[in-house]
């Protein structure tokens, strides 16, 4: 079911959502950066900003995620779960990030389900905006995660000039649209076909920044990437872990207790499979001692057929963030290209 919403009515709708919970959208910070942050009024959303470099997974899987509080009580300890059940609306998110959070949710819904994550994601309504033009380093067309979506969103907006076409994809999306009662109208057939045309145009605009996963997947899945190539590529990685931090689909973590006022807060900390001690055993043995081993592991998880079969998607949504944050040169498109060609920088 598709609706239409006049642009001048959007602020009013967001005002109503603000009464229900936090509304998060890309905003321009004083440094000139674009960051996802809480907005205070419905007119605070700048719709034409580029996608923030720091992904919105921060709102379902924060870098420091308090899970339980442990209090000493005489001879015993009391353990109490920490609940973040705030209702949040993520507005003006891009298709890639919608797919990223859908990927994270599939992972965290698997048994044993992750209650802490699901509490946040179940309370998060994503109102995304389809991309009429690809972003400079994005390649979502190669990962089935944009520029327009046919699933995974709660509500997807398409810019039609004076108004937005609003597609509802879930009960949460329906509830959000219901809050805007009186502001929405049924979309006309013409508006729906206009959206289709925009999608076709957007797809045609993808240029060189594409990523050919198919060939890479065949080679990675069958162990046909020579060790020498991993070794060579690893000389171009500086082990910053930035690719993991900003990847919308990365979720690896470690656990650590934070002492606070005589109690402990057990936290999940975002971690990186590229760090040397990520797989270090208590014995002192490290199954992935070399950087090339860790790189191989990362790309096996992201691109192999084994994981594709399990997850139904490659572990990449084509947002292009790793292209921007990689301190070295081993971001997703570069490594996929090297695997496909069988050579690096040649």
Partner 1 sequence: MLAVPTACPFCSCGCGFHLLAREGQLSGVAPSQTHPVSGGQLCARGWSAHEAALWGDRLRQPLLQRDGKQESVSWDEALDYVAVRLKQLLAAGKPVGVLGSARATNEENYLAGKFARVGLRTNNLEFSYYSVCAPLLAGVEEVCGTSAASLRLTDIASSQVILLIEGDLAETHPRAAGSVLRAVENGAHLITIGCRETQLARVSSLHLQTTPGSEDVVINGLLDAIADLQRSRLSVSVGNNACLQDPETGKETAALCQAAEWITRAERAAFLIPASCGQGDQPRKIAAAVATLAAATGHWNNPGSGVLPLLARSNARGACDMAVVHDRLPGYERLEDSRSRQRLENLWGKKLPSAQGWDAETLLQSVSGLVVVADDPPSVVPIGQEAMTALGRLEFLVVLDAFATPTARIAHALLPISSFAETEGTFTNMEGRVQKLRPATNPPGEARHGWQVLAELCVRFDAAASYDSAADVLREIGQAAPQYAGIERHLAADGWSGVLLQNPGNGKSGAHPASTTRAESQTSAERPFLLARDPAFDWGSDPLVSFSPTLSRDYRAQRKAFPSGFVEIGKNDADALALRTGRQVKLTSMDGEAVVPVLVTKDLQPGLLLVPYAFRDRVSNVLRNDSVAAVRIERV
CB of 9 to partner 1, least distance (A): 28
**Continuous H helices in the chain:** 7-20, 95-109, 115-122, 171-179, 189-204, 213-221, 227-234, 242-246, 291-303, 305-311, 321-325, 332-341
Q: Name the site residues for partner 1 (rule: CB under 8 A).
A: 29-33, 35, 37-38, 53-54, 58, 62-64, 235-236, 238-242, 245-246, 254, 256, 258, 269-272, 275-277, 280, 284, 324-329, 345
CB of 167 to partner 1, least distance (A): 28
CB of 44 to partner 1, least distance (A): 15
Closest to partner 1 by CB, 8 or 28: 28
Closest to partner 1 by CB, 62 or 132: 62
Longest dimension (CA), the chain: 71
* Helix axes of 291-303 and 213-221: crossing angle, nearest 10 degrees: 120
Report whether 295 contacts 330 (CB < 8 A).
yes
Exposed e or buried b for every residue in 306-317, given b needs 16+ CB within 10 A?
A: ebbeebebbbbb
CB of 124 to partner 1, least distance (A): 14
Closest to partner 1 by CB, 195 or 291: 291
Report whether 213 contacts 303 (CB < 8 A).
yes
Closest to partner 1 by CB, 242 or 318: 242
CB of 59 to partner 1, least distance (A): 8
**Among 252, 235, 241, 221, which residue's Cα sits nearest to residue 292?**
235
Closest to partner 1 by CB, 80 or 151: 80
């Amino acid at each position: 079911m598709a609706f239409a919403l006049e642009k001048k009515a959007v602020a009013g709708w967001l005002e109503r959502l603000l009464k229900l919970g936090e509304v998060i959208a890309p905003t321009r910070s004083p440094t000139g950066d674009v960051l996802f942050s809480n907005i205070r009024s419905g007119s605070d959303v700048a719709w034409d900003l580029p996608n923030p470099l720091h992904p919105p997974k921060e709102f379902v899987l924060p870098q420091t995620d308090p899970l339980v509080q442990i209090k000493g009580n005489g001879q015993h300890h009391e353990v109490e779960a920490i609940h973040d059940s705030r209702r949040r609306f993520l507005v003006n998110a891009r298709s890639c990030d919608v797919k990223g959070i859908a990927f994270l949710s599939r992972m965290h819904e698997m048994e044993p389900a992750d209650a802490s994550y699901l509490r946040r994601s179940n309370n998060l309504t994503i109102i995304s905006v389809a991309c009429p033009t690809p972003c400079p380093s994005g390649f979502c067309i190669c990962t089935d995660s944009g520029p327009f979506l046919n699933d995974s969103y709660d509500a997807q907006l398409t810019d039609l000039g004076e108004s937005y076409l609003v597609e509802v994809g879930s009960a949460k999306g329906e509830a959000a649209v219901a809050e805007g009662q009186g502001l929405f109208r049924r979309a006309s057939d013409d508006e729906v076909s206009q959206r289709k045309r925009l999608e076709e145009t957007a797809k045609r605009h993808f240029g060189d920044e594409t990523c050919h996963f198919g060939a890479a997947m065949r080679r990675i899945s069958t162990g046909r990437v020579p060790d020498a190539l991993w070794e060579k590529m690893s000389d171009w990685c500086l082990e910053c872990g930035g690719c993991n931090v900003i990847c919308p689909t990365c979720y690896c973590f470690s656990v650590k207790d934070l002492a606070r006022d005589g109690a402990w807060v057990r936290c999940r900390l975002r971690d990186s499979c590229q760090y040397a001690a990520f797989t270090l055993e208590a014995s002192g043995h490290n199954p992935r001692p070399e950087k090339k081993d860790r790189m191989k592991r990362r790309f096996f998880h992201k691109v192999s057929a084994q994981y594709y079969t399990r997850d139904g998607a490659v572990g990449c949504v084509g947002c292009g963030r790793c292209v921007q944050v990689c301190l070295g040169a081993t971001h997703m498109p570069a490594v996929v290209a090297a695997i496909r060609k069988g050579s690096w920088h040649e």
